[in-house]
Amino acid sequence: MVQKLRWGIIGCAQIATGSVMPAIMNSDSGVIAAIASRGLEKSSAVAAEFGIEKAYGGYEELLADKEIDAVYVPLPNHLHREWVIRAAEAGKHVLCEKPIALNSAEAAEMVKACNDAGVHLAEAYMYRHHPRIAELQDIIASGEIGELRSIRGTFTYNDATDTSNIRFKSAWGGGSLYDVGCYPLSAARLLFGTEPEAVTVHAKFSPEHDNVDMMASGLVEFPNGLSLIFDCGMWAYNRQLLEILGTEGRIEVPMPFNARDEDAEFFVYTGDEVRRVDATGANPYIRQVDDFAAAVFTGKRLIAPEDPVLSMRLVETCLASAKQRQRISML
């Protein structure tokens, strides 16, 4: 019999009900044992919809449930630190939505709390678990496009009219850098395999949206002259792209952060040739929960324990650069 991780869901956010909960239910590694909301009426309704046995009217009640092995935290960003730490203290493994915290100091506290409790903590960048990422890394390592020189990443969408959106609350960790800019920033660190040295970011801060950054563009400097050029936005035309540039070619990745089964292709340009690669399709949310369970059951981690702190340090430095309108060294 396959060992299954018993999940508790802390909150009923759309990312939970629309993506992560269906992934757990369709995975080979997990079952949803309980869900909690701040009101029993809401959690009971979601539990009925998904056929979940237990619903709680408070997060504390779920954490006290000894039949829960792990929790998923899709709460607003400013609540991540509190509930990750409380979950760790309750002996639960934790999958926390991205960005993991409001800043790197909070992220370091969360990582320490989980390490001290002996539980696994992961930040929910689901795209990293899609098979296409490993296939991209293999092509880069093969030398087919030569030595790496630069990465260009974009992630924009337009939701500006929804002024009640929690992404537009500054104190809650709102803004485009925290919401979608973190994706190309994460991808560059992953594909370069090194940490940045400096950032320069320019942003549009909107008084209509609690002065969060509604659009940001930037340059991230990495060692040996490598760079990420990126833009992100919540008030711009919908688009996603990742371009990986080498001395002998380039790779163009459409929909780099939301690919599923049927849209995992990418294109390799070398000389006058263009090669389409139909990468292995998969639901990255299912792969994410399966990889999480493997880390819990076998200790096999896909991402280093300290990664959330390093990731958060880059995101917060980008925001600081945009606010100060200057280049900031990270050395």
CA atoms within 13 A on the CB side of 322: 29
Q: Name 3's Cβ contacts closer than 8 Å, sequence gap at least 6.
A: 29, 297
DSSP state at residue 117: H
DSSP H helices, 79-230, are: 80-89, 104-117, 131-142, 176, 182-192
**Closest alpha carbon to 308 in 70, 114, 154:** 114
Query: In the chain, what is the straight-line distance between the N-terminal and C-terminal CA atoms, in Å?
Result: 50
Respond yes or no: is residue 204 known to be catalytic: no
Distance CA 41, CA 138 (A): 49
Cα–Cα dist 21/71, whole Å: 11
The one catalytic residue among 92, 98, 112, 300: 98
Nearest one of 215, 267, 259 to 237, comparing CA atoms: 215
Which residue do the tokens 């802390």 mark?
A: 10
| Residue 220 CB neighbour total at 10 angstroms | 27
Maximum alpha-carbon separation in the chain: 61
For 282, the 3-state DSSP assignment is coil
SS3 306: coil
What tokens does 276 get?
A: 């389409």
* Active site residue ranges: 98
